[in-house]
Amino acid sequence: MPRLPISTNAWQSVAFTRILKGEIEALGTGSLPLDQGITQGGFVDDENVAALVLNATGDDQYIDSEVGVFFTEIIAGCNCGDEPDTINVYCRLKLRINRATAEAEIRLVPE
């Protein structure tokens, strides 16, 4: 489970959305469930993830946020050349950050 300690510490500050965006974009390969958001049956290229914090609420235990994520899907074998095709994909994720541990449960929001 990914940890977002800087975002957790910044909760309720004016910098929270900027910090959460940065932490999401900096997560390691495979940390986000982007494979559930692909549209053409390809593979996720999570090297260039762009996040947009849509909303955030919280209480004493959790910070809940919805985040839009832009990324590239690599579609192998769909063209005549040796190079795979790519398409830009957008999906929404729900994050639940435990304020005590900074661990984030992340799931795809179904369309």
Question: pLDDT, tens digit, for every residue of 48-62?
Answer: 899 999 999 999 999
Residue corresponding to tokens 């993830």 = 49
Higher pLDDT, 101 or 80: 101
The CATH number of 5-108 is 3.10.450
pLDDT at 44 over 80: yes
To the question of pTM greater than 0.95 for the whole model, the response is: no
Provide CB contacts within 8 A for 21, sequence distance 6+. Answer: 51, 52, 53, 67
Provide CB contacts within 8 A for 68, sequence distance 6+. Answer: 51, 52, 54, 90, 91, 92, 93
Q: Where are the domains of the chain?
A: 5-108
